[in-house]
Structure 1
Amino acid sequence: MTTVKAYPLQFKAEMKERIWGGRALEQYGLELPEGAIGEGWMIGDHPNGITKVINGELAGQGLDQIREQFGREWFGSRGFSEKNGRFPLLIKLLDCNDDLSVQVHPTDSYEGLPAGELGKTEMWYILDAKPGAKIIYGLKEGVDRASMEAAIAEGRITDTLQEITVQAGEAFYIPAGTVHALCSGVLVAEIQQNSDTTYRLYDYDRPGLDGKLRELHIEDSLNVIAYEGAGAQRMKTDGVKHGEWLTIASSPYFLVEKGVVAGTVALSTSPESFVILVIADGNGSLKWDGGEQAVKAGECFLLPATLGAYELSGNLTVLRSIVPE
């Protein structure tokens, strides 16, 4: 096997049509197929979407092929799901042109999970929000399984939900078990466990893309909701200065930091984990031993654990994610 020197990997996004999607991802220069595009899977190694490399020596190869060839060396000693051997994270950009269903995700240990599927703890960073844009974020105080079941039966589930107004630059940590929904008018970067399991509690009685009502998963939802709360957190992230890194989400599956570059910042990978960079705003360049690449808002890069030293320069807002200890 020829040796490939580690370099930052960029992938062609896998676009997903969604009833709630729109065309806003075009502003990042991404190629959108026809229709209402709700999700761009930017870095994915899941049966429902495997992204392919578009730069450098490995162009054309899927993330699954790279995992098979370079394994722990490139992804790091922590860079695998112990449960299914796949890449542990899924990175998305979401265009919420309409409200998403009210939903909840299971933990890894939920018995109802499909074989090989992980639970889904996630975090959101709000890239853009129209004035007054809202999200549903958790349950109102005192809602338990019995009162939730009663509210569903009586068609008043919205009475149980906590709704909040959001602004660009806010970060939300959403552990599995947290009831949530993005609503219309937000553009979001999502870093999550590599999972595509969503249980829908409520979908506004609207038809799906095929004209039929979308399936609800009431029993699974009631089973996996963390009624006492799962540790969800909300954070304003405005105060970050050049060269600083602010932790905006910390979980067993990912550690996400926000950094601002105004000039040049020297960084390095470590052998334990790959690094994912999501360029949230601005433009500049990414330099490493053996190469340089222009970067701009909306682009995502997977830096192998063996890359070592790298530099970011320009005027950039960056989300940096690793798999923690």
Structure 2
Amino acid sequence: MTTKPYPLQFQPEMKERVWGGRALEQFGLQLPDGPIGEGWMIGDHPNGTTKVMNGPLAGLGLDEVRERYGYVLFGTKGAPADNSTRFPLLIKLLDCNDDLSVQVHPDNEYDRLPPGELGKTEMWYILDAKPGAKIIYGLKPGVTRETFAQAIAEGRILESLQEVDVKAGDSFYIPAGTVHALCAGVLAAEIQQNSDTTYRLYDYDRPGLDGKPRALHIEDSLNVIAYEGSGASRMTTELPGPGQWLLLARSPYFTVEKGAVDGTWPLQTTPESFVILIVCEGTGALTWPDSAQPGRIPVKPGDCFLLPAGLGDYTLEGTFTVLRSYLP
């Protein structure tokens, strides 16, 4: 980088969704009018590119930062030789004021992917959940393509789906091929492949934002579902001891860990990968050395930071819980 690498914070891209609400305002985010379901916090996608809002690179889109600085930003695991590939991950905060559609995502090998698009493996960390909140997470044992297709045709799809109660601190790994849906009353952080491909199986017969039913993708969904199991896993996460990382998800596309800050925690990026931090609860600061003046950014719940691979030393201080994501 022409400027010394430093932690990047981005102006979120807000997405209106029929199932959204206004809960993201609790993080101090400015929302446009309407039901806002997704805050794209770190994104480099044709459907949403976030812009840096701090430091010397303020005003540049993540795509521009990526094109200019390549390896210094990505690390050696993520940067192609010509810096042409999009940033590999997409980071969101989700406000589920109503149930999301029942859906499934393809993998990278599916031959009917939209041109230039990737598959979508993701994970959720539940930031908050109202009493009784739940999600749909996989098919019931024994469901096959044939029995599932029949249930869909006969309007009995919900009979084939597993429901799971959720609470704050729960973590769900959702590989491509997993049937899933967040339901009403859930606030979640989502770490995913940089993809916007979703195949809907069921949408509760409700109108979309334009008053018309949203499209379903039954054939594509039936094609990509992992009927014998996708490798999905879930855990109720205890708060790790201060200065320790608890593994939440490890996939071919990302590793996600949860940490507890209580005091001062010195850390480092490595030349292999960038680091993404998502603050879950509590407050404190992110600091890093700088030849001119030490850098410091206050942190609060909902804050998301991209630490370039070339940053090196940084410190978390205060009392808060944080998610750390990087390339495996």
Instruction: Give the whole-Å Cα distance in 2 for the aligned partners of 1:79 and 1:22.
Output: 34
**1:249 matches 2:249:** yes
Q: Report what 2:240 is aligned to.
A: 240
Distance 1:110 1:198 in 2: 13
Q: SS at 1:192's partner residue?
A: strand
Give me the whole-angstrom Cα distance separating, in 2, the residues matched to 1:24 and 1:10: 21
Please give the residue correspondences for 1:1-325 in structure 2 after superposition, counting only pairs within 5 Å.
Answer: 3-80=2-79, 85-290=85-290, 291-324=295-328
Tell me the CA shift for residue 76 of structure 1: 0.5
| Code of the aligned partner of 2:172 | F
RMSD: 1.2
Partner SS, residue 39 of structure 2:
strand
Q: Any unmatched runs of 5+ in structure 1?
A: none
Change in CA separation of 1:283 and 1:81 when aligned onto 2, cut-off 3 Å: farther
SS in 2 for 1:9: coil
Which whole-Å CA distance do the structure 1 matches of 2:299 and 2:78 have between them? 24
Once the two structures are TM-superposed, the CA of residue 118 in structure 1 deviates from its matched residue by: 0.7
Cα displacement (A) at 1:78: 1.4
Change (3 A) 1:138 1:80: farther
Distance across 1 between alignment mates of 2:101 and 2:43: 22
Unmatched segments (≥5 aa) in structure 2 = none
On the 8 A contact 2:239/2:260 being kept in 1, the answer is no
Is the contact made by 2:239 and 2:259 (CA closer than 8 Å) also made in structure 1? no
Deviation at 1:80, TM superposition (A): 4.1
- Deviations 1:21-55 (CA, angstroms, capped at 9, x unpaired): 00000000001000000000000000000000000
Q: Which whole-Å CA distance do the structure 2 matches of 1:167 and 1:54 have between them?
A: 32
Counterpart residue identity of residue 315, structure 2: E
Shift of 1:84: 6.8
Q: TM-score, normalised by structure 2?
A: 0.97
Q: How far apart in 2 are the matches of 1:45 and 1:125?
A: 21
Answer whether contact 2:44 2:62 (CA < 8 A) is retained: yes
Aligned to 2:148, the other structure's residue is in SS state helix
| 1:239 CA displacement | 3.6
Deviations 1:249-293 (A, max 9, x none): 110000000000011111000001000000111110001112111
Give the whole-Å Cα distance in 2 for the aligned partners of 1:253 and 1:318.
20
Contact 2:265 2:316 in 1 (8 A): yes
1:96–1:80 Cα change, 3 Å: farther
Normalising by structure 1, we get a TM-score of 0.98
3-state DSSP class of the match of 2:9?
strand
Q: What is the aligned residue count?
A: 323
C-alpha separation in 1, matches of 2:49 and 2:13 = 7
